[in-house]
Amino acid sequence: MIVCTTISELKAALARQRSKSPNGFIGLVPTMGYLHEGHASLMRRAGSECEFTVVSVFVNPLQFGPNEDFDKYPRDLERDAALAEKNGVALLFAPSVKEMYPTKPLTRVLISEVTESLCGASRPGHFDGVGTVVSKLFNLIQPNRAYFGMKDAQQVAVIQQMVDDLNMPVDIIPCETVREPDGLAMSSRNVYLTPEQRRQALVLSETLQQAGELIQSPEMTASKLTALASANVLTAPLAVIDYVELLHYPSLQPLDPVLKLADRSDKLILALAVKFGSTRLIDNRLFQPAGGDPNVQNHDEIQASPSYSH
């Protein structure tokens, strides 16, 4: 596996690959490091569909607010490199902040509407940073396909909107959330949880599972479902809710709170953000009440744009 820490090294390695295999697909898995099985599943998916897989490891300061955990975000490049190599990655790009932002960036990528709810509302400026760094990675690597986990479903919607609006020649491939055996969504931030917080955090996946049953109730509405979901989350004494919202997906626009859900054939998302101590966890589930089994989440259907690179 090639390890690049500078943009010049990255470009040289990619130029060699393209010279050797001009028509070979390049897949990108963008990460902030401290990799886990969720990331590994994206790498394996990319490896099964692309000839050359690139993983980026970069803790992007632009997407952290002033009181967030940028400085203490877990980092272990040696561990990340070992996991990436084990999962067939061809190139690991691990630049420093100075390498990615040699001077103060005066250009930002701003995506509106899909960024204005959920994490976009509770973390102002977060998705400006996400859009900016992902567009930089797309420009540097020029992948045919980029792979994102659906644990952060809003991020997937935001990146897809950016790609569609700017005609970026990359397919966005959303991939299933990977969970621990007990249901907790895998996250680099799980390492922060105390044993008791970790136990209580299971209320997130349990709430989403319960919602899958409740949404089929004939009289269930958006306001009732979010109220019941919020109440269930709060059965965990340590849980502090940031948001519990049911929205259209991928537009992330609000639903009429009083319309019955069981007859809806459009795609909906129930998204949760909950703090346990200082650790903020997110999770979500997609539903299509009248359009199929609400317990089946086929994320491949979310892929919105045709390939510009085939």
Provide the whole-model pTM. 0.92
Q: Answer whether the bond into residue 250 is a cis peptide, omega within 30°.
A: yes
Please state, in angstroms and rounded to a whole number, the distance separating the CA atoms of residues 239 and 246.
19
Which positions make up the binding site for beta-alanine? 63
Give the strands of the sheet with 52-57, arranged side by side: 2-4, 91-93, 52-57, 26-31, 145-149, 171-175
**Bind-site residues for (R)-pantoate:** 63, 155
- Indicate the average pLDDT of the chain: 93
Helices 203-214 and 222-233: angle between axes, nearest 10 degrees = 150
pLDDT of residue 67: 82
Q: Quick one: pLDDT at residue 16?
A: 98
2 in helix, strand or coil?
A: strand
Residue 126 known to be catalytic: no
Supply the pLDDT for residue 305.
32
CB-based contact 269:152 (threshold 8 Å):
no
Instruction: Determine the topology of domain 2-178 in CATH.
Output: Rossmann fold (3.40.50)
pLDDT tens string 141-161: 999 999 999 999 999 999 999
All structural domains of the chain with their residue ranges: 2-178, 188-299
CATH number of 188-299: 3.30.1300.10
Report the chain's C-alpha Rg in angstroms. Answer: 20
Residue numbering of the annotated binding site: 32-39, 63, 149-152, 155, 178, 186-189
pLDDT at 64: 94
Catalytic residue among 39, 248, 299, 310: 39
56-96 per-position pLDDT tens digit: 999 999 999 988 989 989 999 999 999 999 999 999 999 99
Residue ranges in the chain modelled with pLDDT below 70: 291-310
Other Cβ atoms closer than 10 A to 274: 25
